[in-house]
Structure 1
Amino acid sequence: MQYIKMSLQHLDFELDYLYKIGFRPLNLKKIKNYISKYKLTPKVPIITVTGTNGKGSTVETINNLLISNGFSVGKFTSPHLIAINERIQVNNQVIDDNSLSNLLRIKRTQLELDAQNYFSVLFLVALSYWQSFKLDYVILEVGIGGKYDVLNLLDADVLVISSIGLDHEARLGGSRSIIGWQKAGLMRAKQSVVLAEPNAPKSITDCAISVGANVYKIQHDFWSQYANSFWNWHSRQQSFYGLPYPNLFIENVSSAIAVCERLNVPLQASKVRSVLKTLSLHGRQEVVHNDPEILLDVSHNAHALQHLLQSIPQKPTILIFSALTRKSVEPMIQVLRQYVEQWIICESKNPHSYSADSLTQIIKQQLSSATQNPPPIYTKSVPSQAVKFGLSLCPKQYRLLICGCFALVAEVKLLIPRLILN
C-alpha cells in the first residue's frame, strides 16, 4: 500500500509539471533528434488521423477493427475525457499509473526545455511505452493542426483527414481552405490519404497532387448505402452488406473501413458487423439515461454541433452548456438556438472556461438580437447544480443535452450516477 501511495504521489508531481509547461512552442528539430537517438520510431505501419471533427470516432473504429482481426495495436489520442492515461493504450488497455509516472519523469529529465510541452511529452511517453510491446499497428490522433504538429515527425503509412470546420482559428487560420492546408501538411509522396468528407476543401486535394499522395475519397472511391435498419459499405474492391448502425457517425466508420482496406487487412463481414454492434465512444452521442434522455456529446464548435443536431432524432431539448474562452462561441450559439428550448449555463473545471455569468451575458446578447422572444436562460455556477436544475425542468419526453467542452461532459458523466440515484 505504501508503494502504491508513493507511486501516485510521484504521478501527481509529474502531472503538475506537465500542466505547468502547457502548450508552449516547440523546437521540433530537437524532438526529431530525440526520437532518432532513442530509436523511438515504431517499426510497424502508422495510421495518423487529423481533421477538425470526427478524429476520435475514426481512431476508435480503426482500432477495434484491427484488434478484432487479431492484431496488436498501440493508440495515442487527444484529448482525454476522464483520465490522462486514456491517451496512451495498447489493445484498449490504458497505460498504468506507474509506467506513466516513470516515463514522464524520464522525459522531463532527458528533454531540453524547448522540446517539452504537454502534448509532445505525452507523445514521446507513448512511443517509449510501446517499445515494451510487440505491436502490429500504431494509430496516432493529431492534437491541433497537422503541418506543424509533433506527430508530423513520423511518416504515416495511411493518413486520414476527417471533416474540416472552423476551430482553433487563431492558430490554424480563419477559413476551411487554410485549415485544410494545415491538415494536409502531414501528407507524404505515395502515401494513402483517406478523405472522410465528400466536400473537403480543394486545398487538401491540391496538396495531395503537389506531394504525390494517393487520395481515397468518401462517396467517390468508397461509399455508404443506407437502409432503414442497416447500411452497406462499398469500394471498388469489395462490399460489406447488412452492417448495424453504430453509435458514431457513419462517415467516420466508413472511412475507418477504407483505412483497413488500404492496409490490405483481410476484413471479414461477420467481424465488421460484430465490431459495429458494440462500437461507441465515451462522450460521443452518449445516452446515459432515458426518460428523460440525457445525452452527452463533446461537440465544441459550430460545425460539430450542427452535424450532431441534424443527425439525432428531434425532440424538445433543454441544454446545459459551457465553453472555453479560446473558442468562437457566437457561431455555436447560432446553431444551438435553432434546437434548444431552454438554456442552462455553467462553468467547467477547465481553467480556460468562461465564467457562467460572462457566458450567459454573451448568449443573452446573441439571442436577443436574433429573436424577439428569446428562450429562458438560467445560470448555475457548477455542473452539479446545472444537472439537478435541468432534471427538475425536464419532462420525460424531453432531452437534456450536455455539450460545449470536454471538461463539462467529463464532469457530468461522473456526476450522473449519483444524481440519478438521488
Structure 2
Amino acid sequence: MSLSEFLAKKSEFYSKIDPFVAFRIFEKYQKYFKIPPIIHIVGTNGKGSTGRFLAQLLEILGYEVGHYSSPHLFEFRERFYLKKGIVDEDLLEKTHQKLSLILQKDLEKLSYFEYATFLAALLFEKCDFVIFEAGLGGEYDATSVFKKRLSIFTQIDYDHEQFLGNTLEKIARTKLKTMAKKALISTNQNESILKMAQKIALLKGAKLCILKDLSSDLLENLEPYKAKFKLPLFLENNLKLALKACEILLSKSQTIKALQNLTSLNLRGRLEKLKENLYIDVGHNVLAARALCEYFKDEKIEIVYNGFLDKKIFEILKILKPISARIMVFKCENEVRALANEQIFEFCKELNIECEEFKRLDEGKKTLVFGSFVLVEKFLKDYGA
C-alpha cells in the first residue's frame, strides 16, 4: 500500500485516544529504530518555531538535523524537515515502505500522528541532531517513546482540555513529566508551572535551566537579527529558547557564530507577511490571540477569522477586540471537527465588534488571517498566496 493510500484511511483528528499504543509498538519493535536521543519540544504554543530556529542554528554549524513538527498546511511531507528543507516525496515513500515491512499488521493500529512519529524516527536515523515536537500533551504523546537528549518547554497554557484536563495544573503536569535529564524551560510561564517544573526536576534528578534571559554577548548579537527581520515578541522569545538550547548542546561561542549567520525562520504561517498589508498566522488559541494583540497594538486591522468550536472562541474574540476594525468570518467546514462559523457572529454582536462574512480582500487595509491551520490552508489555496 502506498503512502497516499495509507494516509487516506487515517483521520488527523480523534475524539478518543489510546495513549499506550505507541509505547506498546515501540517496545515490540525498538531494535529497528536507531535514531540518536531526541531534542523533545513540549508546550502549548511556540513548539514549531522554537524547533525550526534550533534546526537552522545547528545546520549553520555543519550538523545534519531532522525536525519533526505538526500539523501541516498543505502536504503531509511538510512535517519532516531534513537537509535544510522539506523531505522529497520519493524518500518519504521509500521510508513508508520500510516502516510497513517492519510493523506489518501493527501499522494499522497506529493513529495518524503515531504513524508520522515512527516514520520520522526512520527518516532521521542518520542525523546528528533530531528534534521532535510533541503533538498532544507530552507524557503519553507518541514522541515520548524515544530517548531524550534535551527537553525544551515552551509556554504552557490551556488547550486540548478534553484530553489533558481542565486545570492548568493537570495540563502542565502531563507536559512536564516528560522531562529529560537535561531540560530547559521558558520563564514566560505561570509561576505555579515554574514551581512544578522545579519539583519534577528534583524528583527526576534532572538539570533544569530556567531561561530568564540570554547572556549579554548573545543579546548583543540578537539585536541586529531582530531589527533585520522585524521579529514579533513571541518569535523573539522562541528564538531565545532555541539559542539557549544550542548553547546547552554545544557552546556559547558556537551559538553566537550560528546566530550571526541565521537567516529568516524557514517555517510558514508564523505571523507570516505575504504582501504589504496581508499577514497569516496558524495560531488558534488564547495565547496566540494575546501574542497577535501585542504585535498589532495601537492599530486597527481587518481580521479574517474562524476557529474550531472546541476552542475558546468568545475569549479569543474578546482579546482581539482592541485591534479589530472588523471580523470577517471565513466560512469553511471540516469533516471531523466543527468550526465556529455562525457562532462567531453571535459572539461579535455580544462583544460589540463589527462582523460580516468574508467575501474578498481589501488590499488597501492591513489584514490578518488567523484561527487555525485549516482556515489558513483554505485561504492560501483559494487566494493562491
Are 1:324 and 1:352, in contact at CA under 8 Å, matched by a contact in 2? no
Partner of 2:44: 52
Partner of 1:369: 350
Q: Does 1:94 align with 2:94?
A: no
Are 1:342 and 1:375, in contact at CA under 8 Å, matched by a contact in 2? yes
Partner of 1:300: 284
Q: C-alpha separation between the residues in 2 aligned to 1:326 and 1:118? A: 20
Partner of 1:3: none
Partner of 1:244: 225
Q: Does 1:414 align with 2:384?
A: no
Give 5+ residue unaligned stretches, structure 1: 1-8, 226-231, 380-385
Tell me how far 1:268 sits from its aligned partner: 5.2
Q: C-alpha separation between the residues in 2 aligned to 1:332 and 1:154? A: 35
Tell me how far 1:390 sits from its aligned partner: 4.1
Larger displacement relative to structure 2 (168-177 or 240-249): 240-249
Q: Does 1:139 align with 2:131?
A: yes
Tell me how far 1:118 sits from its aligned partner: 0.6
Q: C-alpha separation between the residues in 1 aligned to 2:95 and 2:269? A: 28
Specify whether residues 20 and 90 from structure 1 end up closer, same or farther in structure 2 by C-alpha distance, changes over 3 A only: closer
What TM-score, normalized to structure 2? Answer: 0.87
Deviation sequence 1:174-202 (CA, Å, 0-9, x none): 232221111112113xx221112343413
Q: C-alpha separation between the residues in 2 aligned to 1:241 and 1:24? A: 42
Specify whether residues 296 and 72 from structure 1 end up closer, same or farther in structure 2 by C-alpha distance, changes over 3 A only: same
Specify whether residues 137 and 330 from structure 1 end up closer, same or farther in structure 2 by C-alpha distance, changes over 3 A only: same
Q: Please tell me the residue identity of whatever aligns with 2:167.
A: S
Q: Does 1:116 align with 2:97?
A: no
Q: 1:351 aligns with which of 331, 335, 348?
A: 335
Tell me how far 1:242 sits from its aligned partner: 4.2
Q: Does 1:63 align with 2:63?
A: no
Partner of 1:223: 214
Identity of aligned residues (%): 23
Specify whether residues 101 and 270 from structure 1 end up closer, same or farther in structure 2 by C-alpha distance, changes over 3 A only: closer
Bigger-Rg structure (1/2) = 1
Deviation sequence 1:374-405 (CA, Å, 0-9, x none): 233212xxxxxx3xx3424x6x2x32110100
Are 2:243 and 2:255, in contact at CA under 8 Å, matched by a contact in 1? no
Name the structure, 1 or 2, with higher relative contact order (CA <8 Å, separation 6+). Answer: 2
What TM-score, normalized to structure 1? Answer: 0.80
Give 5+ residue unaligned stretches, structure 2: none
Q: C-alpha separation between the residues in 2 aligned to 1:273 and 1:410? A: 33
Larger displacement relative to structure 2 (197-206 or 121-130): 197-206
> Partner of 2:152: helix, strand, or coil?
strand
Q: 2:218 aligns with which of 222, 225, 233?
A: 233
Q: Please tell me the residue identity of whatever aligns with 1:129.
A: L
Tell me how far 1:316 sits from its aligned partner: 1.9
Q: Please tell me the residue identity of whatever aligns with 1:78.
A: S
Q: Does 1:150 align with 2:159?
A: no
> Partner of 1:61: helix, strand, or coil?
helix
Partner of 1:402: 369
Q: C-alpha separation between the residues in 2 aligned to 1:242 and 1:340? A: 30
Partner of 1:160: 152
Specify whether residues 354 and 343 from structure 1 end up closer, same or farther in structure 2 by C-alpha distance, changes over 3 A only: farther
> Partner of 2:291: helix, strand, or coil?
helix
Larger displacement relative to structure 2 (249-258 or 303-312): 303-312
Are 1:317 and 1:400, in contact at CA under 8 Å, matched by a contact in 2? yes
Partner of 2:321: 337
Matches within 5 A, 1:263-274: 263-265=249-251, 266-267=253-254, 269-274=256-261
Specify whether residues 269 and 405 from structure 1 end up closer, same or farther in structure 2 by C-alpha distance, changes over 3 A only: same
Q: C-alpha separation between the residues in 1 aligned to 2:376 and 2:298? A: 21
Deviation sequence 1:26-47 (CA, Å, 0-9, x none): 4244222244232x041x3421
Tell me how far 1:343 sits from its aligned partner: 1.4
Q: Does 1:33 align with 2:18?
A: no
Tell me how far 1:111 sits from its aligned partner: 4.7
Specify whether residues 260 and 368 from structure 1 end up closer, same or farther in structure 2 by C-alpha distance, changes over 3 A only: same
Deviation sequence 1:234-288 (CA, Å, 0-9, x none): 5xxxx7464411446111100101111111245253431221x423521001110
Specify whether residues 352 and 328 from structure 1 end up closer, same or farther in structure 2 by C-alpha distance, changes over 3 A only: farther
Specify whether residues 280 and 116 from structure 1 end up closer, same or farther in structure 2 by C-alpha distance, changes over 3 A only: closer
Partner of 1:391: 361
